[in-house]
A and B are shown apart, each in its own frame.
Chain A
Amino acid sequence: MLRLGGEAVWMPYGGRRYAAPVADAPAVSLHGVTAAYPGAAATVLRDITLDVPIGDHVALIGPNGSGKSSLLKVLAGLLRPSAGTVRIHGLGVGVCHHRVAYLSQRNAIDWRFPVTLRELVMAGRFVHLGWLRRPGAADEAAVARVLDRLDLTHLAARQISELSGGQQQRALLGRTLVQEADLLLLDEPFTAIDGESRDTIESVLRELHRAGKTIIVVTHDTERLAGVFERVVELRDGCIIADRPADHNAVEVVW
């Protein structure tokens, strides 16, 4: 039995256990990726080629429908490209699920489903548990630490339907944090949030950056890129039209 994060996975999801990353491979490497949603005629990504080195901190920007979220979905294994290759730490998509943490777009979640904030965050541990196993004391401790960091401890027993937009986004970030992944894919974590939640999320992102994690964030907010990100990739109509440092003067974007 292989070891993962110090614990054994008995029956991993998708039958995939721990796989060592390929040495010197970038965190993300896309080459000529083209993708369309099943049953839809429109192509959402066209011939995308992009390398993201380990530890990079990238903002994906662009107007609605430009392909930002679709690009994250390709990396998370939710959308299969029709052409091109995708490598994550040198491996195929889905070869090592635990290493990639995906933060779903807020409107992709049924917030009326009866789960508490703590239960939602705990789901970030599932990939380390696999089928059949229930969360143990170590998982509880990991969740407690993250709730504390995100200032959510006092809301842990609340139903997710009763949380504000900012609290819901912090809870989703909490779930990606307890997964203890190396690559974080965050789809619009700054949507519908208050200033306090934004500050908390930004400071957590900076901490993750210092810890050497690779982060790719889809965001609409082009005003505060410089302090948080180091690189900005801009998409339009499914193509990359700009790739520049975040503190570059050309951040002023007119859509």
Chain B
Amino acid sequence: MIDWLIEPFSYGFMRSGLLAATLVSITCAVIGVYVVLRRMAFIGDALAHTMLPGVVIAYLNQSSLFVGAMVAGVLTAIGIGWVSRRDALREDTAIGVLFTAMFASGILLMSTVQSFRDFSHILFGNILGVSASDLQQTAAIGALVLLALLVLHKELGLTSYDPSYATSIGIRSEALRMILLILLALTVVTSIQVVGVVLTSALLVTPAAAASLVTQRLSHMMLLAIVVAIGASIVGLYASYYAAVASGAAIVLACTAFFGVAWLVRTLRR
């Protein structure tokens, strides 16, 4: 049994994969709690998809895919913040139009390149191929995001549940929302490596949603979401090693399984 548990992690790529998944899990789980409580789940998904053209353009110019994704993500975050300040369209409609257009542009650009396969790890993630520099970038961005969330904790909370009062004491709720969107974009960039563009909102939403079913305290919710995300990453990596299935999809489904357990716990408690 112990051999069975240890064996996968005797390989370097599995150890780096686990480390990457852990780093990403922590960041996603913590910011994911705000995403779920502020009902921004759709925006997380949109951000992930809109990064595709940035990544493809970076690839075509042979520059860093990571930087390409980050630039596209931050621009989209600003775009979403800007669009939702106008009342001409409902926010979800505007985002729906924007993100499908961006994703389609990405696909269109991809089709101009000879091999579609080059991009499969962007779409579906390639956690077992992370390099030491990827890990450093992920750790640095994660630390930045967590530090920002810690520093802005009391204002983010207040603007989440009572933006009117927050505005009345001089906190610019819209500016704070924009900062949150940019932090979200940075977080999404890191999680693309682990589960890819298509599944990335799962890491943001599912652990936080599971935690919100079980506890009513914000700090407990964040801790529990971290536990769920890391737990799902470990389970997913074992599944991918022993059952030879796609690691990103396995991690996401493990998250879903934890969510199912949380749902059951809540139902039994009532």
Instruction: Indicate if the CB atoms of B164 and A78 lie closer than 8 Å.
Output: yes
What 1/0 flags go to B84-96 for Cβ under 8 Å of A? Answer: 0011100000000
> Known: A110-B162, A113-B161. Is A97-B168 also a contact (CB below 8 A)?
yes
Residue of B nearest to A110 (CB): B161
| Interface positions of A from 52 to 101, Cβ below 8 Å from B | 73, 76-78, 94, 97-98, 100-101
Q: B residues within 8 A CB of A126?
A: 154-155, 158, 169, 171
Residue picked from A12, A73, A94, A123, most chain B C-beta under 10 Å = A123
Instruction: Indicate if the CB atoms of A16 and B170 lie closer than 8 Å.
Output: yes
Contact of A175 with B by CB under 8 A: yes
Q: How far is the CB of B93 from chain A (nearest CB, A)?
A: 15
Instruction: Indicate if the CB atoms of A108 and B170 lie closer than 8 Å.
Output: no
Stretch at the interface among B123-131, B181-189, B214-222: B214-222
Stretch at the interface among A18-26, A127-135, A218-226: A127-135
What 1/0 flags go to B13-48 for Cβ under 8 Å of A? Answer: 000000000000000000000000100000000000
> Known: A39-B88, A134-B154, A161-B216. Is A115-B161 also a contact (CB below 8 A)?
yes
> Known: A108-B162, A115-B157, A134-B154. Is A14-B216 also a contact (CB below 8 A)?
no
Q: B residues within 8 A CB of A160?
A: 161
Instruction: Indicate if the CB atoms of A39 and B87 lie closer than 8 Å.
Output: yes
Contact of B82 with A by CB under 8 A: no
How far, in whole Å, are A110 and B168 apart by their CA atoms in the complex? 17
Contact of A29 with B by CB under 8 A: no
How far, in whole Å, are A123 and B172 apart by their CA atoms in the complex? 15
> Known: A78-B164, A123-B158. Is A114-B169 also a contact (CB below 8 A)?
no
Instruction: Indicate if the CB atoms of A104 and B221 lie closer than 8 Å.
Output: no
Instruction: Indicate if the CB atoms of A38 and B162 lie closer than 8 Å.
Output: no
Contact of A190 with B by CB under 8 A: no
Contact of B97 with A by CB under 8 A: no
Q: B residues within 8 A CB of A73?
A: 164
Q: A residues within 8 A CB of B216?
A: 114, 159, 161
Contact of A102 with B by CB under 8 A: yes
Contact of B151 with A by CB under 8 A: yes
Instruction: Indicate if the CB atoms of A13 and B164 lie closer than 8 Å.
Output: no
Instruction: Indicate if the CB atoms of B37 and A132 lie closer than 8 Å.
Output: no
How far, in whole Å, are A113 and B162 apart by their CA atoms in the complex? 10
What 1/0 flags go to B145-165 for Cβ under 8 Å of A? Answer: 000000100110110111111
Q: B residues within 8 A CB of A94?
A: 170
Residue picked from A78, A114, A123, most chain B C-beta under 10 Å = A114
Q: A residues within 8 A CB of B163?
A: 108
Instruction: Indicate if the CB atoms of B170 and A14 lie closer than 8 Å.
Output: yes
Contact of A2 with B by CB under 8 A: no
> Known: A113-B37, A115-B218. Is A104-B171 also a contact (CB below 8 A)?
no
Which of A105, A111, A127 is in CB contact (< 8 Å) with B170? A127
Q: B residues within 8 A CB of A40?
A: 87
Contact of B63 with A by CB under 8 A: no
How far, in whole Å, are A179 and B165 apart by their CA atoms in the complex? 12
> Known: A39-B88, A114-B37, A161-B216. Is A97-B169 also a contact (CB below 8 A)?
yes
Contact of A109 with B by CB under 8 A: yes
Contact of B167 with A by CB under 8 A: yes
How far, in whole Å, are A39 and B87 apart by their CA atoms in the complex? 6
Q: B residues within 8 A CB of A105?
A: 164
How far, in whole Å, are A159 and B86 apart by their CA atoms in the complex? 34
Residue of A nearest to B160 (CB): A113
Instruction: Indicate if the CB atoms of A102 and B168 lie closer than 8 Å.
Output: yes
Which of B87, B162, B215 is in CB contact (< 8 Å) with A123? B162
| Interface positions of A from 120 to 147, Cβ below 8 Å from B | 123, 126-127, 129, 131-132, 134
Q: A residues within 8 A CB of B160?
A: 110, 113
> Known: A102-B164, A108-B162, A159-B216. Is A127-B157 also a contact (CB below 8 A)?
no
Residue picked from A14, A104, A131, A132, most chain B C-beta under 10 Å = A104
Instruction: Indicate if the CB atoms of B218 and A78 lie closer than 8 Å.
Output: no
How far, in whole Å, are A111 and B157 apart by their CA atoms in the complex? 12
Q: B residues within 8 A CB of A76?
A: 164, 167-168
Instruction: Name B residues whose Cβ lies closer than 8 Å to a Cβ of A.
Output: 37, 86-88, 151, 154-155, 157-158, 160-165, 167-172, 212, 215-218, 221
Known: A108-B163, A113-B161, A119-B157. 10 other contacts (CB 8 A): A13-B170, A14-B171, A16-B170, A38-B87, A73-B164, A109-B161, A110-B161, A111-B161, A113-B37, A123-B154
Instruction: Show 14 residue pairs from A and B whose CB-CB distance is below 8 angstroms, ordered by the A residue.
Output: A16-B170, A77-B167, A97-B170, A105-B164, A109-B162, A113-B160, A114-B217, A114-B221, A119-B157, A123-B158, A123-B162, A126-B158, A159-B216, A179-B169
